[in-house]
């Protein structure tokens, strides 16, 4: 009689207490590139066969099983034995015991996630590429996960304010909390205007307290890059540009235009 084991759309297996493979469903046979379950069992139960590309993953898997009695979301690079191709899989497994607690066998699932994993790696590479391009201009880069409050600052972003790599926590309030009190309300208004969709980008100038207790003017720009199904913002990425010199220059020009340089009194204009 056929069971759910045979018809699962992802790979499924059973092994005995020693790790010998007892059963493999049709999906697992396909994942590993074989034509029959017998062919797969013969290959896997050969001591010379290595499933994981990194051989340490086998001992890590066994340690988790011995420690917790189950493994979930165990992502590894493995071999597709029939072709020798490397693929990425996600495993889950647990111990099956009898009524007295004696171990009967292990069973688990294997999901081929090669396509999604490679797409994720490509996305990460692309993000790193444009983040490096932004930093090459001298700007700092920030990446804010709005719902959780996590915010990741690039090394350059921390350097602008005199901080080392590990001196700023990855939280949105890490720099928000150092914003000048006189600038905070406008910064929040500009940010909320973008988060609510009123403006296409976020743009604000404000002062931030540096590590040495000096104030530095920064131009911050950003954009929401993902929203949930209800339109709520999920992730926002942007930059910090140090504009302190420009601000000081503007202030000097204004003073020279409006005050007498000798007396310090307002001029006729």
**Distance between CA atoms of residues 11 and 30, nearest Å:** 8
Query: Do the Cβ atoms of 89 and 95 come closer than 8 Å?
Result: no
How would you classify the pairing of strands 11-15 and 85-97?
unpaired
Give residue-wise pLDDT tens across range 34-89: 989 999 898 888 877 788 999 899 899 989 988 999 999 999 999 988 888 999 99
Q: Give the E-state strand segments of 50-160 in sequence order.
A: 70-80, 85-97, 103-112, 140-145, 150-153
Give residue-wise pLDDT tens across range 24-35: 999 999 999 998
Tokens 């201009």 sit at which residue? 137
pTM recorded for the entire structure? 0.52
Give residue-wise pLDDT tens across range 119-137: 877 767 767 766 665 666 6
Count other Cβ atoms within 10 Å, centred on residue 18.
5
The whole-chain average pLDDT of the chain stands at 86
Query: Do the Cβ atoms of 187 and 180 come closer than 8 Å?
Result: no
What phi and psi values does residue 266 have, to the nearest 5 degrees?
Answer: -60, 135
Query: Residue 257: which pLDDT band, with cuts at 50, 70 and 90?
Result: low
């Amino acid at each position: 009689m056929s069971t759910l084991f045979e018809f699962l759309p992802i790979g499924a297996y059973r092994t005995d207490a020693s790790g010998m493979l007892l059963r493999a469903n049709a999906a697992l046979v396909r994942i590993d590139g074989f034509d029959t379950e017998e062919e797969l069992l013969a290959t896997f139960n050969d001591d010379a066969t290595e499933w994981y590309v990194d051989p340490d993953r086998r001992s890590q898997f066994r340690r988790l099983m011995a420690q917790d009695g189950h493994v979930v979301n165990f992502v590894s690079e493995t071999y597709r034995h029939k072709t020798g191709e490397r693929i990425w899989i996600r495993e889950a497994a647990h111990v099956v015991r009898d009524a007295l607690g004696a171990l009967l066998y292990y069973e688990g699932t294997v999901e081929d996630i090669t396509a999604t994993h490679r797409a994720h790696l490509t996305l990460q590479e692309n993000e790193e590429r444009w983040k490096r391009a932004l930093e090459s201009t001298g700007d700092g880069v920030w990446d804010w996960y709005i719902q959780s409050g996590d915010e990741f600052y690039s090394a350059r972003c921390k350097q602008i304010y005199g901080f080392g790599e590990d001196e700023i926590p990855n939280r949105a309030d890490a720099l928000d909390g150092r914003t000048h009190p006189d600038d905070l309300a406008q910064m929040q208004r500009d940010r909320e205007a973008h988060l609510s969709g009123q403006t296409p980008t976020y743009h604000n100038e404000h002062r931030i307290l540096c590590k040495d207790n000096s104030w530095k003017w920064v131009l911050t720009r950003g954009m929401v890059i993902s929203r949930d199904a209800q339109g709520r913002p999920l992730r926002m990425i942007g930059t910090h540009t140090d504009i302190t010199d420009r601000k000081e220059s503007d202030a000097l020009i204004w003073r020279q235009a409006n005050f007498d340089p000798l007396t310090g009194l307002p001029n006729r204009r």
